[in-house]
Amino acid sequence: MQPDRVRTDTAQPARRGQSVNPIDYSVVHEVPGRLRLRIPAMGSPGYRADYLEAWMEASAQVTDVRANRHARTLVICYRDANAGRDTVLRRLAGFSPEPDNGLPEDGVTEAEVTPMIATLFTLAALPFLTPRMQMLLTLVNVGSTLAKGADTLINQGVKVEVLDAMAVGLAAANGKLYTANITDLLLNLGEFLEHRTARQSDRLLRRLLRPDPAMAWVERDGQLLQVAGDEVEAGETVVIGVGDTIPVDGRVVDGAALVNQSTVTGEDIPVRKEAPSRVIAGSVLVEGRLRVEATQVGQDTTTARVARFIQESIGKRTDTQRMADDLADKRVYITLGTGAAVYAATRDLTRLQSVFLVDYACALKLGTPVAFKSGMSRAAEHGVLMKGGEAIEHMADVDTIVFDKTGTLTHSDLIVTDVRVLESCGTCSEQELLALVASVEEHASHPVAEAVVEAARARDLQHISHGEVDYMVAHGLSADVEGGCIVVGSRHYLEEHMQIGFGAHQALIDQFESEGKTLLYVGNAQGPIGLIALRDTLREEAAPTLARLHALGIRRLIMITGDRRAKAEALAAEIGIDEVHAEMRPEEKARIIEALRAAGHKVAFVGDGVNDGPALSIADVGIAMPRGADIARATADIVLMDDRLSAVADAREIADRTMRLIRTNFTAAVGINTGLLGGAVLGWLSPVASAVMHNGATIGVLLNALHGVKLDRDRLPPPAEPPTRSPD
């Protein structure tokens, strides 16, 4: 029976500056819940198999994807045998080729497999050849190993490749042709497995490089239009249905749904989203329907930032990695010297070959970067973006963490705590004053205005009609209302510009300010009519997180705040802060960090504001909160994707355990190879046994590094999934 051939003419439109060909595929085989497709274009320039896998895995219906670029096939396992098949094929139709970004493919390359196949052919042919032909075929087969060793010696000096070439060459020269070929096979097999493992660690990270968004349904000019995800503009409303990948970061304006955020935040259980919740690009809508106002689009979305951070970090080298490389290179000389001493004492070429086949370089040089990449991947799964292995390395060394209070220890969203009516307001009530101010402030977009409007909405207060609103940037606004003109803003604005004095109410103002509250001043032609007090709220997880940081080895926890000292010290005592810098101006943050570092402390700074940039860059480790300013995220070494303080403790624990894993692997590599070297010196190991055990130990170290680390909470049984219901 001929397979069904399908040409998907509904493929995603081209991204800017890129042409797209519709995907041509055929269904080779299928059973309920599983499809095998042949895609002729797979493997050709622009059709990266690993990105196609990642694209398909983003669908909530897909449980497993395996791409074989050599066979040009794609196997997809999916849920819901009835509706899942159509969803999967629609998802495939939306795939668009990724441009080559210099990253290697995950698949096996021909250059890696060919030497092993050639060696197997040589071993099979040797019994049927004359001695001279056996020698000739062996030299041809091991020639690449000998040439690599000679090239390394000439251009780089004595490296592990030189030892391998000497071991194989000595066996061949001594007439031990089977030993030479088998040793060459084991060396190539070990190199192949090492590269495969290293590529797998990169794959863990590149799985986080989510493809560009799928198609998006956007409301434009009263119509619902389908456009490419990266063509959505900020402020537009996107409609998202079941199975769709959310293409933008945004705020829900209507609807209710369950959203799977696991590919971005690592949360196992779908999260309920409804107005005014935030949604993250790359999440998948599992149930329900949402209308979302786009706030971050294109290269500003969460997934795009993840892609940039991870891609920049893959090639970075750390101090630990450089140290491992140096130690590995020095131990080559130890192996070489040991071999020379053994041969001088025994004149036994077999022992010399066995010694040369034991080296430290592979496990030390590859194990460290693999462990760093695994740590970065694990951190990303927990909503922590670490910009390279250096961020892990430095975070593990930190002994002092400095918190900017607002937006870190507290939520960045303000809430209204007090509404006070003053004498010039006449007979108006607090409710009427709040409704009046909210009606004017709804035309502004700053956090104070949003908090006032939200407070009025929560109290179900009616909008009060007013005239045109006049703004004075960074000061306040005014508007005509029934009975005169109302002025809302800072004290400086009302007193210096509008000549409305609040001196008679200084005691009340001092009381609010001593409580760490922000004040919004309200007046009219008759004088001051009211005060609205706001404050940020303490994060519920602040105290447990700080206690956990102490348990993880952080000796000093410091808070910087502009609050009055009494209020700041009371908060510090409540949540477990060790030291407080109160009544501080923003520009003084960097000076505090510099003083701590000058005193010998390893300092991490946690902040989220524009004025936190200098402190984030000066600290040994800068940590930016997810809702922080762009400059804070760009300057930071670590960016938190989840708006939770406990992610700081996650970052510390992952960094500490990753460095511990690297030290464990380092000790194991040195110990095991030293034992093998001793066995080779004593003549207990043949060259073949030496190669097998050495490569086995190396692969074991790499697999342990690839497995990575887990947080304590990862080892707990998952919580029972709460019952869900379909949205009305």
* Catalytic residue numbers, as ranges: 404
Round to whole Å and give the CA distance between 166 and 608. 57
Tokens 């304006």 found at = 253
Structure tokens at 483: 């009975």
Give rounded-to-5 percent helix, strand, coil for the chain: 50, 20, 30
Per DSSP, the three-state class of 621 is: strand
Phi, then psi, of 278 in degrees rounded to 5: -95, 145
Residues in the chain: 728
Structure tokens at 346: 């025994």
Nearest CA to 609 among 633, 588, 590, 591?
Answer: 633
Contact 50, 199 (CB under 8 A): no
Opening angle at CA 596, ends 595 and 598, nearest 5: 65
Per DSSP, the three-state class of 290 is: strand
Q: Which helix (H) or strand (E) holds 163?
A: helix 160-173
Instruction: Give me the residues paired with residue 227 across strands.
Output: 216
Opening angle at CA 15, ends 12 and 19, nearest 5: 80
Phi, then psi, of 410 in degrees rounded to 5: -120, 165
Contact 58, 259 (CB under 8 A): no
Nearest CA to 52 among 111, 4, 95?
Answer: 95
Round to whole Å and give the CA distance between 50 and 232. 26
How many other C-beta atoms can be found within 10 angstroms of the C-beta atom of residue 144? 16
Residue 650's Cβ-side half-sphere holds a number of Cα atoms within 13 Å equal to 28
Single-letter code of the amino acid located at 686: S
Burial of 119: CB neighbours in 10 Å, binned 0-12, 13-18, 19+: buried
Phi, then psi, of 298 in degrees rounded to 5: 55, -125
Round to whole Å and give the CA distance between 94 and 103. 23
Structure tokens at 173: 């020269």
